Amino acid sequence: MNSILNIIENFNKEMAIDLIIAIVIMAVLDIFSPLFSFIIIKIFNIKKDTKEIKNSAFYTPLKIFFKLTGIYLAILFLKPTFNFTESFINIVTKIYKIAVIITLANSFANSITKKSRFVKTIEEKSTKDFNDNSVKMLVRFIKVIIYIVATFIVFLELDYDLSGLITGLGLGSVVLTLAAQDTIKNLLRWYSNFYG
């Protein structure tokens, strides 16, 4: 509270100019975020038209990314003017990184559909025939993997040590596999007796 009062008491022309520049940085990235997003998607997908680009899974997340980047750059620009502490900047940086990770994970997950190139490539290279339910399960599985990886990255960004959790998950899966081994054998035996 005292630091806010000190800023108000010491507010001068230079601080006002820096504050205006920071607002301009945020406004430019906010206003031009649709254009920047459109250009990036157009670069990576040359054949798409304007409507397809705006309906792309990456268009809205890219706009959010540029808006977040504008806020982050404005705060970094104001750091020397308002004497932001390193701990405050570290917190802002972590929040920015986490927001970018979540935004990217969401866009990648939304881009995985039954008609996406990635799923079609898996279907083509697989030796099994995929029905509609199998494709839905594959899409869900890929999305879950994306969100799990993003969650691990967020926890690492928050400085949590996940080595124990990863080891536990590995050991837990081995125990579950060994425990379920007899059940699976009995189910297969029943299936072969019933249908065999």
Instruction: Please give the model's pTM, rounded to 2 decimal places.
Output: 0.70
The string of pLDDT tens digits covering residues 142-190 is 888 888 888 888 888 888 876 666 666 665 555 556 665 666 565 555 5
For the segment 5-28, the average pLDDT, to the nearest whole number, is 80
Band of pLDDT at residue 196, cut at 50, 70 and 90 = very low
pLDDT at residue 126 in the model: 67
Query: What is residue 27's predicted lDDT score, i.e. its pLDDT?
Result: 94
Position 34 pLDDT exceeds 60: yes
Residue with tokens 């899409």: 139
Distance CA 1, CA 192 (A): 74
Residue 195 binned pLDDT confidence (cut-offs 50, 70, 90): very low
pLDDT at 177: 60
Write a three-state SS string for 56-73.
CCCHHHHHHHHHHHHHHH
Both tokens of residue 18? 């820096």
Across residues 81-89, what is the average pLDDT? Answer: 87
Find out whether 139 and 104 touch, Cβ atoms under 8 Å. no
CA distance 107 to 165: 27
Q: Using one digit for the tens of pLDDT, what is the confidence trace for 37-66?
A: 888 888 887 657 778 888 888 888 889 999
25-to-73, 135, 169 alpha-carbon distances in Å: 7, 44, 45
Token pair in block for residue 62: 């890219």
| pLDDT, tens only, 98-134 | 999 999 898 888 888 877 777 777 767 666 666 767 7
DSSP 128: S
Identify the three-state secondary structure at position 50.
helix
